[in-house]
Every structure is written in structure tokens, then in C-alpha cells.
Structure 1
Amino acid sequence: MLYPESFEQKLGFDKIRDLLRQACLSPLGQSYVEKIRFSDNFQLIEKMLRQVAEFKNIVQYEPDFPSSNYLDIRPQLQKTRIEGMMLSEEEFFELKLTLRTIQQCLRFLEAKEEGSYPYLSELAEVVTIDKKLTDAIERVIDDRGHVRDSASPALADIRRRIISEQAGLRKKLDGILRNARQQGWVADDVSLTIRNGRMVIPVAAEHKRRLKGFIHDESATGQTVFIEPSEVFDTNNEIRELEYEERREVHRILRELTDTLRPYLPDLHKATTFLGLVDFIRAKAKLASQMAADLPELVNQTLIDWQGARHPLLYLSFEKQGKKVVPLSIRLDQKQRILIISGPNAGGKSVALKTIGLLQYMVQSGLLIPVYEGSKAGIFQNLFIDIGDEQSLENDLSTYSSHLTSMRTFLTLSNKRTLFLIDEFGTGTEPSLGGAIAEAILEELNKSGAYGVINTHYTNLKMFADKTQGLVNGAMRFDGENLEPLYTLEVGRPGSSFAFEIASKIGLPKAVIERAKDKLGTQQVNFEKLIKELDIEKRIFSEKNLEVGINQRKLAQQLAETTALQTRLENDQKRILNEAKLKAKTLVSEANQRIENTIREIRENKAEREQTRQVRQKLEQFDRQELVTEVLVDEPKRAKAQDAEEEFLPAEGAITVGSYVRIQGQNAIGQVLALKGKDAEISIGDLKSNIKLNRLEKVSRKVYREATGEAARPKVQGIDLNEKMMSFSFNLDIRGKRGEEAMVELDNFLDNAIMLGYPELRIVHGKGDGILRNLVRQHLRSFSQVGPMSDEHADRGGAGVTIVKMK
């Protein structure tokens, strides 16, 4: 139930209807706008809202959906019901275009994956258009809206004869016209023309007696007459008879086609209803996009839990002016059913009240509402409002009487499924009496279990709400220092009217204000003063908390950067040590091999001095060449490299059972299993062998591990540009991402685009409040390779998509 009868006008829903009418493409959709009604049927409301939500996605991201030829063919269908009636060529052409649009809508929904648009697909399930009907219309009506020549053999023959007769007629008239030009009866620039459906020659009035024939017309000045020569009377008559015959044949064809259409009327009515609903839902979705409206979580209980709610009409008005609406966050549930809002005049109390009423009415009328994601909307059975006054001279009602009349209705009909909204509760009479009556009414409304929002200035109502279960205070925030409204609702504390402060700002004499404070009493003045001081302190602490939060984020960022730097340094250190170890190992191995070869050569040459000297020179030359450092490093790196080499030197101490040893002059490394005098039994892999102790040298466990289980050095991989090019998409979708996450994806996207040389990129960020869009564009400007940026075409996303031109 709604109260009063002027409910829609008081909340501004009549303007929402006007916007929906303008968004419709045809009278079909506009007829459904008039049928919008408030409902408390949860299943019906959910179905309507999800239909609009699905169509909103189509409006924003599916430019291929048909958006033309939404024609109203209901008059044609009504006419067809009457036996013997015939539709005209124009009416059949509109029917053809409409059926084509319906088929395109059905094909669009069928082509989508199952589950993409389930609620819209459900609408289309009952629609069937027989191909025999569309083919019959297509065979008769062409794409210009005329009956085709091929509609019947007789029509084709008639039109062929008309063309032939017209060609013969023009040939005769051309000869007569040439002769008239030679005689000077007509001007040289004169040509044949049509009058009364017959082809004639324009002749100067003074020569009209020279050309025999019938005068059909004359010019406005009377200087030219239009004569049909007597030589072509018979031909013109023949053409006229053929045209009559053509018209009769066309009527016969259209009558037969109308008879063919008649059995399909039930299906056509369903198809027309479907098209009207599509137009209507499309209009709701288009309006939702303009208002930045979304689908809240719908719950089948009495609840209001809105985050970032905006008044839709105020939002649209501010959008045109380039201003932003201050969002409203409110929650009404079992614990706090009735909200008492207080605060100064012009602070936004009435706007908040109308926002709550209008959005709840829109939800229960099947319209999306402008709230943030995560908001919840419940269902109420009754919506009552008392906004403005209903004073009437006829009924002898004053302003206060009209308010009391509304309160009587509220008290009589309110229940646990009622939402009531009262503006300026208790005003219109003596304040102390009005406050007492308002408190009593509020007590009864609270007992009824109803939900509501009340605007008031009465202190007794604020105090009553503070100590009564089910009620909660709220305040429209006000800058007490600058005496400016902030239009933000704060739930949990009462607000001050700031009457004395506003009076001082306006310039009321100080003495008057002081006397007013004395008359009011110390308790009330102190109460107002306390509220003001609390408001100022809260604002100061909020600013401090914001500052602390910013500093904490900066600290966390610096800590993360420091940790990353430390990790990178440690990785670099490990890499340098590993490289040094590998190089040292290689050098030692090559040196041992060189020494072994040198000893073998000395032995083979029987230690001849000259040969020995040459071999030693080669060994010294190898030492100088291989041990020279290729890259100059600083002292800390040099020390690390030396430490790494020392790890590969033979370990000190006697060889015992379990020691790790290397055979001198070889790379083979094993472990001692047993000692037998001057021999040692060692295992090298799966092999066991007895070796003289003097041929073994002790090594460290690390050398043994690396020799037996050394990991392969990682291979450096290149970049496959062909693969990059094939997998890269110029379209990046970051909708729903957090700011930091979106920026990381944007950086990777731009790196790849710059490397591959893409000239133009497309970034989908959505519209919303424009926060992500501004963040994206500000970040893009930091890249020198990025050129101009612009919004996408309105049909392909508009301000929700940024087109980037690369330099």
C-alpha cells in the first residue's frame, strides 16, 4: 500500500517515468512505462531487476543488438482480425520490418552461450514466428515497401505492358516536342512533364491554338499551358486502363496476403508483446547506465542496507553541471528500525529522506538504483510518506492538521512490513506541544514494529531515540568552524541545529543572540554546545586518522621496497659467489690437468733440461693467461671471489675412514671406505678401488657434493616475438580490479604493446564514479610512448573505455 495518493509526485518518480518514456523507441515500450506499479512480490521484483541488469550489459557491451524498427503493429493486427479487410503496402512494410527486428532479437539471444542472459531468454521462449509467414510477406513486399513485380504472373505482365506503352508514348511525344521547338511554340529548355497522371507538353500560352490536344493545366502566371496532344490520347488512355488493372491486381494480392496472415495473429500478438517488453526493458537499462545504477543484493525481508546511495534525479542534474553528489550510506534492520535525523536547515535532511523513499520505490517497481556494490535491498509491503503539507481550503485543513491526518493513517495501518518517512516531524504548532505529541506518536510507531526515517529539530525526540530500543539517532554533518553543510549522514549521534552560529554568521546582533541563550536556558544551550564541540572534535580526529593512515601506507611501501632491495642484494651475492666457485673449480681442474700433462711430458722426455725448461715455461704462460681477471672488480667482490676459490682447495688433515678424497692429477672424487696399511679402499660412484694413500688428497664435503650432484647452470631463454604477437590482445579489461592490481596489469600490457609496436590500444575500466578511469589515464600520462587518449564511441562503451593512441 502507498500513502498518500500523490506519492509519486512527492518523491519525483513522475520525472523518472518521463525519462523512461524518452528512452523508449516506440509506443510499444511507452505503453509499459504507464503500467509501472509498486509490488511486494519478491519473485516478480527479482525477475524484473535481473532482466534490467542483463539488458544493461547488452546496452554497454553488445553494440550488435538491434536498436531500430521498433514499430507498433497493433493497429495492423487489429485490422487483420476483421474478415474481408486488407492491409496496405505501407502497413505490410511496417509489419515486415517489425518481424525482422523480432527475429534479430531472437537470433541474438539464441547465439549467446547458455546462461549468458537467462531472464531475457525466458521472455523469448514463448515467441515463435513461422518462416512460412515471413517468406510469404517477403515474396510480395520488397525492401522499398512496394508489391514486387514477381508477386503474380498477371502483375508482371501488366507492368511490362505499362512500360512498353510508356516507352511508345514518350517516343511520340519526343517527336511532337522537337517539332514544337522548331516551330518556336516552346522554349529550348522545356521537357515533358506529368499532369493528372498523363504525360503532357508545356506550351507558351500564345501558341496553345497551334498544338491540337487537351489542356490539362496552366502555370501560376498563365504564361504556360500543359497540353496533351491529340495524337497520344489513345496511348494515354491505354496506359491509364493498365494502371487501373495493376491497382486491382495489387489489391487482390494484398487481400490474399492478409488472409494468409490471419491464422498467425495469436503468435504475432505474442511477438509484439515481446518486442514491447524488449523496448521497455532496454529503456530501463539505458536509464540505469545514465544514472550509474546497479543491481543491489535483493533479500526477502524488511531491510535497507545501502552504501553510496545517490538521488537519481539529483545525480543526473549534477552530471550536467560537472558536480558530484555526496553519497548516502544507511542501514535499517531489526536492531535499529527507526532513524531520527537531526541537523541544521539546508543540511540535506530532506534530500536524504527523499533519496531513501525514491530508491526503495524504484527497487519495488523493477528499476536498478544508484548504490555501490555490496548494498542490500529488502521488500516492504507499505510505503508511507509525510513530506510537505496537504493543507486544503475545501477540507478546511491547516498545515498541522494535514500532518496529524497523515499520522492517523500511519498509526492505523503501520505493521512490521511498513516503511514510513516523515519530514519535519511535529512542526506546525506550538513547539512544546508539538514535541510532546510527536514523541507519543513515535512511541506508538515503534511499538508497531514498523521501519522509518524521521527528520526533526526537537531535542526531546533525540533524547528519546538515544534511550529507546529500536531507534537510533543520525546527524547531517556540519562544518561548525566554517558554518557550511557537508551533506553527509552520520548514524549514531544526534545533530545540532547550529541556530545561534548561523544567526551570528548572518549578522544578527550579538546582544540579541545572548538574550536568546538566556531565555532558552542553560541546559539546552549546553546540550547544543556539546553537540557542536563533539562534531568539531570528530572532524579533527578523522583528519588525524587519515594522516596516520597515509603515513602507515607510506611506511609499508618503504618497508616493502627495502625488503625487495635486500632480497635482490642477497640474490646478487649468491650469484656472484656461485660464479666465482664455478670459475675457481674450472681453473683448478684445468691446472691439475696441465700439471699432469707436464709431468707426463717430463717423464717421456726423460727429464732433459731443455725440454723440461720449455714445458715449465708453457705452464707458467698458462698460469699468467688463465688466472688474469677479465673484469676489474672492487675489493669486496675480489675478497668474495677469493673466498669462493678457497672452498675448492684440498681440505687439511690426515685421511681417515669416511674422508672425501680426490685422486691426484684427476677429477674423480670418492669416499674412503677402509684403510689397509698404505692403501685405501675408496668408492667412486658405484665403483670400488684400492689406491695408494700417497696418490690421494683430502677434499671438503662441499666439493664432494658438487662433484657428484652438481646442478646444471640455467639456460638463458630468449623472447619469441611471434608467440608474443599471436597471444597479445590490444584490448585490456580491468573492470572490478583494485587500483594497485589494475596498475600492475596496465604496466605489463603497455610493456608488451610498446615492444610489439601496436599503434592503438583499448582499455576497458567501466564508468562507475570515474575513479578507476582517472587513475588509469593519470598513470598512462607517465609513459612517454603514449599519445592522445579519448573515450570510446557511446555505442561501444563511451566513458567506460579509454582509447590510447601510441606515438
Structure 2
Amino acid sequence: MLYPTNLEQKVNFQKIKELLKAECSSGLGAEYVDKVSFSSDFRLVNKLLDQTQEFLDILISGENFPASNFTNLNPYLEKAKLEGAFLDQDEFHEIKLSLQTLKGCIAFFSKFGELYPALGQLLGLVLELDLGLLKAIELVVDEKGVIRSNASRELQLIRSQIIYEEGRLRKVMERVFKEARAKGLTPEDSAITIRSGRMVIPVAAENKRKLRGFIHDESATGQTVFMEPEEALDINNEIRDLEYMERREIIKILTQLTDRLRPSIPALRKATNYLGLIDFIRAKAKFAQKTESVKPVLVKERVLSWTKARHPLLELALRSQQKKIIPLDIHLGGQDRLLVISGPNAGGKSVTLKTVALLQYMLQCGILIPVHPDSKSSLFDNFFIDIGDEQNLENDLSTYSSHLMSMKYFTQFANKKTILFIDEFGTGTEPQFGGAIAESILLSLNKAGAYGVVTTHYGNLKQLANKNQGLVNGAMRYDVEKLEPMYQLEIGKPGSSFALEIASKIGISKEILAYAKSQIGDERVRYDRLLTQLENEKNQYSGLLADVQSKERLLKTRLQEYNELKETLESTKKRYIQEAKQEAKRLLDESNKKIESTIREIKEGKAEKEATKKARQVLEEFKEQVKPEKQAVKEPGVKVLSGKIGEGDWVRLKDTGTIAQVLHVRNKEVDLSIGDLKSTVKLARLEKISQTQVKKEKKTKATSGSFNANQKLMDFSPNLDLRGKRGEEVLSLIQNFIDEGYMLGIKDLRIVHGKGDGILREITRNLLRTMNSIQKVEDEHADRGGSGVTLVTLK
């Protein structure tokens, strides 16, 4: 049950319909938009939402789905159902394009039906369709909508004859025209042209008697006539007869093709409905993509729990002004069914009410809504709303009387399956009586178990909501210092109108305000002052809480980084100790073998002086081999040379300190030789150094390189997060990331760019394709990010 009759206009749903129609690619989809209606059938609404959500997934995935030729075939089918009637070639061309679209839809869901079950079920509308009809039409009508010459043998012969006769006619006309021009009978710069479908020659009017033929037309000035020469009359007549024969043969072909189509008319009508339905669902999905809408969790128990809800029309309007909307969090359910929102004028009370009303109505019409995916919603049988001025001069109803008529309807029909919305409850008459009546009505609606949102300025309604189960207060937050609304709903406390504060800020005299306070009463002033104080404290503590939460998040991040680093260091330490033990064991074993061998040689030589001396020398040489190298003193930093970098120069990478030699210089990129490796880097990342300094640097690297490499390896992360970066920022980040990974010998890298509009993904993939060090690029597994993450395998 809906109230009033113009409910869709009240909640601005008509504008939503207009935006949906704009997303449709045909009139078929627009017709379905006009049929959209409110429903409380859980299974139906759930199915409609699933269909739209699945099509939204198709749009996001970028899968190739038919996007055009959703044509209304019903007028053509109505014409074709009459025996003896035939469709022309243009009409068959439209049918052919629609059948190709249908074929594409069937092929898509036959392949991906398991991924999109709700949409796949719609294929039942086209199961009876004979796709052999498409092949029959394609044999007759070509890609441009013209009857093919090989549609029949007779047509092919006729068209061949026409081509032959037109060639003969052209030769005759060119000969006659050439002779006429030589005799000076034609105007200057004239040429053979067409009049009444026949080839003619322009002749000066004074010379028309000098050329035998038939005059078809004359110029606007009368100075030129267009004549068909006598020699061309028979040929033109022959061509005209052939054209009539061609037309009769085409009609025969089209009649036969229409007879072939006629038995498929019922199936084609269903297929037309399918095309309209798919176009309509796609329009809803495209609208959802623009408004970032989703399907909330639909539950059967009465609850409305939304986070980050946004009014789609308001958000689109703000987006066009480069502004952002402030999301809304709201919860209705259990003992908090009727929300009474209070607060200052222009503070966002009505916008909040209209947001909840519009989104609930959209949801029950099968349209995705802009909320967080974890939000919960249920369906209501009755949807009542009282917004705006319904003054009716014909029935002699005042504004307040019209509101009372709505309240009468609400109290008569409201129940536990009702959701209602009342804006500025109780206004329009004397506040003392209006507040009392509104209080009584609110109690009645609460007793009926109804759900909904009510906005008011009346203090007695705030107190009523504070004392009764089922009712809950809500306040629109307000910055008292700046006297600006914050457009944030806070559930659990009433809001102040801040009337005295606003009046004081504007500059109303103290005497006037003092008199107003005396009329209001000390108790009421203290109550309002308390609300103001609470709002100030709320704003202060909200700022402190946000600061603490930010620091806590930073602390958690640093703690996680510390733990990861500690784990890496421990792992590296254990590995180095294990390697050292293995090396020590190897050296000890080898040393023992050498000593035993030396002792054996001395014994076998019977302690001869020369043999003993030689054995001792071999042992001393081995001791030198296993003796630890002395740690070299680190040389001062490498001196950077000025001048242009050229082929053969030695350079150092600024960010990594790696020494390399230049192989080739190409514009802003340089091919380098780094030991046995080759790499391409940006010229801006390099600095030129001398060969003398290279030797010193290499010597220093020889003694300390192991430490630097290990440190680099520990500092390097195989994950690169580009989310939130601009396009021009990511290029250098990706280049450095790949170069470092390649030099450190890490084979598998991971780049996180997100899905979004796909811009970062496209920039990343295009850059990776140009790098020689990359072996393979692919999407991450769907459970771990899918197309929002690029996996890179290095050579």
C-alpha cells in the first residue's frame, strides 16, 4: 500500500527513472523503466537486485557483451503476420542485427552462465528461437542492408545484364557528348548528368534543335536543356525494363523470406521482450556504476541498518560542482523503530529523511542503492510519506488540514509492515496544539509498530522519544562556533534548533534576546543550553578521538613493520650462522685432511729434511688460503663528474649506488652493463664517474658488498602499492621497483593498483610491456585481488 498517489514525485523517484531511461540504448529498455513499480515480494525483489548486481559485475569485469541493436521488432512482426505481406530489405536488416545481438547474448550466457545465474535464467525467453532464421536472412541481406545479387539465380542474371547495358549506355553517351562538345552545342564546364533516372547531356537552349533526342528538363534560367540523345533511348528503355524485373524478383525473394520468418513470430516476440529486459537491466547496472551502488544484505526480519548511505541525485549534483557528499549512517530496528530527528533549520533533517525514503523505495523497485555492501535492509508492505505542502484549494484544505488528512490515513493503516516518513511533524498551526496532536499521533504510530523517520522542532516530541520504547531521538550535528551545519546524523540524543545562538551571531540586540529568553522560560533555556554544550563537547571529543585513532593506526603500522623486520633479521641471522657453521666444518675437515696428509708424507720420507720442508711449505700455503681477509678501509665517496653521459662511460645509479658501464644512449633512456647483467634505466637516475674512482668503488664493494647486498635484500619488498597515486608518479616507482628486483635476483613481484576505472592498471601494464627484464605479466587470483593486482615474473 502506497500513500499518497504522487509518492514517486514526493521522493524524487521520477528523476531516477529519467536517468535510467538515459542509460537505455533503445525504446525497449525505456518501456521497462516505465513499468518499474514498488514491490514487497521478497523473492521478486531479491531476483531483480541479483540480476542488476550480476550485470554490474559484467561491466566491471570488462567482458565483451553485446551493446547495440536492441531493436523493437514488434512493428515488423505485426506487418509480417499477414499472409502475402512481405518485409522490405531495411526491415529485414533491422531483424538481422537484432538476431545477431540475441545470438551474442545466448553465446555469452552459455559460456558464463554459472558466474551469472540470475541473468542466465532469462535465456528461457529465447529457448524457442530458431537461429537458422538468422542464417537465412544473412544469405539474402548483406552487411549494408542491401539484397545480395546471389540471393537467387534470376536476380544475379538481371543485375549482370543491367551492368552490361549501363556500360554500353555510358560509352554511347560519352561518344555523343564528345561530338556535341566538339560542335560547340554544350555549355562550358558541363558534364553528363542524371534527370528522371536517365542519363542526359546538357545542351545550350539555342542548340537544342541541332541534336536529335528527348528533352527531360531545363535549368532554372532556361539557358540549358538536358537531353537524352536518340541513340541512348533504346538502351535506357532496356535498363528501365531490367530495373522493373529486378524489383519484381526482389519482392519475390522478400516474400519467400517473410514466409520463412512467419512461423517464428511468437518466438521473436519473446526474444524482443528479452532484448528489452536485458537493455533495462544493463541501464540499471550502468546507473549503479555511476552512483557506486550495490546490493545490501537483504533480510526478512524488520531492520534497516545502513552505513555510508548517500542520496544519488544530491551526490551527482555535488559531483558536478567538484564537491563531496557526506554519507549517512542510520539504524532502525528492535526498540529503535521510529527515529525522531531534530536540529537547526538547513541542518540536513529533510535531506536525511528524503535519502532514507528514496533509497528504500529504489530498493523495493529492484534498483541497487548507494550504501556500504555490509548494510542490511528488509522489505515493507506499506510505504507512507508526508512531505511538503499539499494545500488543496478545490477541496478548501489548508496546509495543516492536508497534513491531518495524511495523519488520519497513517493511523488507520499503519502496522508492523509499514515504513513512514513525516517531515516537519506538527507544524502549520498553533505550536501548543500542534505539538500536542503530533505527540498523540506519534504514540499511536509507535503502538502500531510502524518503522520510519520523523523530523521536528517540537521539544515535547524529543522528550517523548526519550521516554518511550520504539522511539529514538536523532540530532543533526552543528558547529556552534562557526554556526555551520555538519550534515551528520547522531542517533541517541535530541538536537537543538540553536535559535538563540544563531540570532546572537547575526547581531540581534541583547535586549530582544533577553526578552525572548524570559518568554521561553528558564527551564527551556537551560535545556537548550545543555544541548548546545553537549554539541560543543561532542565536536571537541570527536576531534581528539580522530587524532588518537590516527596515531593508533600509525602505531599499528609501525609495530607491524618492526615485527616483520625483526622476523626477517632473525631468519637472516639463522641462515648466516648455519652457512658459517657449514663453511667452518668444511674448512676444518679440509684442514684435518691436509695435516694428516703432511704427517703421512713426513713419516714416509723418514723425516728427511727436504721432504719435511716441502710438506711444511704445502701446509703453510693452505693456511694462507683459509686465512680471513683483512677488512679494507672504506674510501671516501665517489666524486661525480660533470658533462654529458656517452657510450663507454662509467656511471652510478643515484638511488642504489650500483656501478655500471654505458652500452647505448637512446633519448632519455640508457642501456647499461652491470656485471653479467644488462638493464635499461632512465638517464635522470644516473651520475657520471671516472674510471679511477670506479676502481676504488669496486675495491670498496669487494670488501663491503656482501653487507650492502644483504641490507638491500632485507629492505626490498616484493609488493608495490600504487593505490592513490597519480599517473605521472607511478612510472618512476614501477621502473625503480623492477630494476631493483631484477638486480637482487628476485623473480616474482606483485604490483597493487586497484580496479577503479582501470587507469592505473593500463599505465602499469603498458610500461611493463616495454621492459626487457620481464618474462610474464598476469592478473592475481580472483580471491586475492583479481585484476586489481598485477603479478610480474622476471627473467
TM-score normalized by structure 2? Answer: 0.79
- Residue 324 of structure 1: CA displacement? 0.9
Give the secondary structure class of the aligned counterpart of 1:208: helix
Output one character per residue of 1:638-687: Cα deviation in whole Å (capped at 9) or x when no partner.
xxxxxxxxxxxxxxxxxxxxxxxxxxxxxxxxxxxxxxxxxxxxxxxxxx
Output one character per residue of 1:457-491: Cα deviation in whole Å (capped at 9) or x when no partner.
11111111111011111111111221111101111
Q: Letter of the aligned partner of 2:266 in structure 1?
A: P
- Residue 67 of structure 1: CA displacement? 1.2
Output one character per residue of 1:132-151: Cα deviation in whole Å (capped at 9) or x when no partner.
32222222222221222222
Residue aligning to 2:159: 159
Residue aligning to 2:123: 124
Output one character per residue of 1:140-192: Cα deviation in whole Å (capped at 9) or x when no partner.
22222122222222222222222222222222222111110110011453222
Do the aligned residues in 2 keep the contact of 1:425 with 1:454 (CA within 8 Å)? yes
- Residue 12 of structure 1: CA displacement? 0.6
Cα 1:569–1:296 shift into 2, 3 Å: closer
Give the secondary structure class of the aligned counterpart of 2:392: coil
Residue aligning to 2:754: 765
Matches within 5 A, 1:713-728: none
- Residue 356 of structure 1: CA displacement? 0.6
Residue aligning to 2:57: 57
Cα 1:416–1:755 shift into 2, 3 Å: same
Do the aligned residues in 2 keep the contact of 1:733 with 1:765 (CA within 8 Å)? no
Quick one: distance in 2 between partners of 1:802 and 1:589? 50
Cα 1:344–1:775 shift into 2, 3 Å: farther
Residue aligning to 1:691: none
Matched, 1:330 2:319: no
Cα 1:83–1:753 shift into 2, 3 Å: farther
Do the aligned residues in 2 keep the contact of 1:311 with 1:355 (CA within 8 Å)? yes
Matches within 5 A, 1:170-569: 170-187=170-187, 189-567=189-567
- Residue 518 of structure 1: CA displacement? 1.5
Cα 1:615–1:292 shift into 2, 3 Å: closer
Output one character per residue of 1:352-379: Cα deviation in whole Å (capped at 9) or x when no partner.
1011110011011111100012011110
Quick one: distance in 1 between partners of 2:399 and 2:616? 121
Quick one: distance in 2 between partners of 1:291 and 1:339? 26
Cα 1:551–1:60 shift into 2, 3 Å: closer
Cα 1:259–1:762 shift into 2, 3 Å: farther
Cα 1:219–1:115 shift into 2, 3 Å: same
Aligned positions, number = 677
Quick one: distance in 1 between partners of 2:763 and 2:98? 43
Give the secondary structure class of the aligned counterpart of 1:146: coil
Residue aligning to 1:629: 628
Deviates more, 1:624-633 or 1:144-153: 624-633
Residue aligning to 2:138: 138
Do the aligned residues in 1 keep the contact of 2:753 with 2:760 (CA within 8 Å)? no
- Residue 383 of structure 1: CA displacement? 0.5
Quick one: distance in 2 between partners of 1:29 and 1:67? 12
Q: Letter of the aligned partner of 1:15 in structure 2?
A: K
Quick one: distance in 1 between partners of 2:216 and 2:724? 80
Q: Letter of the aligned partner of 2:754 in structure 1?
A: H
Do the aligned residues in 1 keep the contact of 2:721 with 2:751 (CA within 8 Å)? no
Q: Letter of the aligned partner of 1:294 in structure 2?
A: V
Residue aligning to 1:677: none
Deviates more, 1:58-67 or 1:594-603: 594-603
Q: Letter of the aligned partner of 1:629 in structure 2?
A: P
Do the aligned residues in 2 keep the contact of 1:335 with 1:470 (CA within 8 Å)? yes
- Residue 235 of structure 1: CA displacement? 2.2
Quick one: distance in 2 between partners of 1:234 and 1:460? 102
Cα 1:560–1:302 shift into 2, 3 Å: closer
Output one character per residue of 1:420-473: Cα deviation in whole Å (capped at 9) or x when no partner.
000000001111111111000000000111111000111111111111011111
Give the secondary structure class of the aligned counterpart of 1:184: coil
Do the aligned residues in 1 keep the contact of 2:308 with 2:372 (CA within 8 Å)? yes
Cα 1:747–1:204 shift into 2, 3 Å: closer
Output one character per residue of 1:550-595: Cα deviation in whole Å (capped at 9) or x when no partner.
3333333444444455555555655555555455545554554444
Output one character per residue of 1:384-435: Cα deviation in whole Å (capped at 9) or x when no partner.
0000010011111111111111100100111110000000000011111111
Do the aligned residues in 1 keep the contact of 2:338 with 2:451 (CA within 8 Å)? yes
Do the aligned residues in 1 keep the contact of 2:344 with 2:496 (CA within 8 Å)? yes
Give the secondary structure class of the aligned counterpart of 1:421: strand
Matched, 1:22 2:11: no
Give the secondary structure class of the aligned counterpart of 1:373: coil
Residue aligning to 1:743: none
Quick one: distance in 1 between partners of 2:577 and 2:155? 98
Do the aligned residues in 2 keep the contact of 1:765 with 1:773 (CA within 8 Å)? no
Quick one: distance in 2 between partners of 1:565 and 1:497? 54
Deviates more, 1:279-288 or 1:216-225: 216-225
Q: Which has the larger Rg? A: 1
Give the secondary structure class of the aligned counterpart of 1:216: strand
- Residue 61 of structure 1: CA displacement? 2.4
Give the secondary structure class of the aligned counterpart of 1:227: strand
Quick one: distance in 2 between partners of 1:362 and 1:406? 22
Cα 1:764–1:428 shift into 2, 3 Å: same
Residue aligning to 1:704: none
- Residue 234 of structure 1: CA displacement? 2.2
- Residue 225 of structure 1: CA displacement? 0.9
Matches within 5 A, 1:681-700: none
Do the aligned residues in 2 keep the contact of 1:205 with 1:224 (CA within 8 Å)? yes
Q: Letter of the aligned partner of 1:150 in structure 2?
A: N
Cα 1:803–1:556 shift into 2, 3 Å: closer
Give the secondary structure class of the aligned counterpart of 1:209: helix
Q: Letter of the aligned partner of 2:82 in structure 1?
A: I
Matched, 1:4 2:4: yes
- Residue 259 of structure 1: CA displacement? 2.0
Residue aligning to 2:73: 73
Do the aligned residues in 2 keep the contact of 1:424 with 1:455 (CA within 8 Å)? yes
Cα 1:105–1:608 shift into 2, 3 Å: closer
Deviates more, 1:434-443 or 1:216-225: 216-225
Quick one: distance in 1 between partners of 2:761 and 2:183? 83
Quick one: distance in 2 between partners of 1:622 and 1:2? 102
Residue aligning to 1:39: 39
- Residue 532 of structure 1: CA displacement? 1.1
Q: Letter of the aligned partner of 1:41 in structure 2?
A: D
Do the aligned residues in 2 keep the contact of 1:587 with 1:626 (CA within 8 Å)? no
Q: Letter of the aligned partner of 1:59 in structure 2?
A: L
Quick one: distance in 2 between partners of 1:219 and 1:776? 61
Quick one: distance in 2 between partners of 1:565 and 1:205? 101
Q: Letter of the aligned partner of 1:169 in structure 2?
A: L
Deviates more, 1:324-333 or 1:554-563: 554-563
Q: Give structure 1 stretches of 5+ with no counterpart.
A: 635-717, 719-727, 740-745, 786-799
Quick one: distance in 1 between partners of 2:73 and 2:568? 73
Give the secondary structure class of the aligned counterpart of 1:482: coil
Do the aligned residues in 1 keep the contact of 2:99 with 2:131 (CA within 8 Å)? no
Q: Letter of the aligned partner of 2:624 in structure 1?
A: Q
Q: Give structure 2 stretches of 5+ with no counterpart.
A: 634-708, 710-717, 726-731, 772-786
Do the aligned residues in 2 keep the contact of 1:335 with 1:469 (CA within 8 Å)? yes
Cα 1:763–1:163 shift into 2, 3 Å: farther
Q: Letter of the aligned partner of 1:496 in structure 2?
A: S
Cα 1:290–1:592 shift into 2, 3 Å: closer
- Residue 748 of structure 1: CA displacement? 10
Cα 1:179–1:477 shift into 2, 3 Å: same
Q: Letter of the aligned partner of 2:452 in structure 1?
A: G
Do the aligned residues in 1 keep the contact of 2:154 with 2:249 (CA within 8 Å)? yes
- Residue 517 of structure 1: CA displacement? 1.1
Cα 1:306–1:733 shift into 2, 3 Å: farther
Give the secondary structure class of the aligned counterpart of 1:258: helix
Do the aligned residues in 1 keep the contact of 2:71 with 2:272 (CA within 8 Å)? no
Do the aligned residues in 1 keep the contact of 2:73 with 2:269 (CA within 8 Å)? no
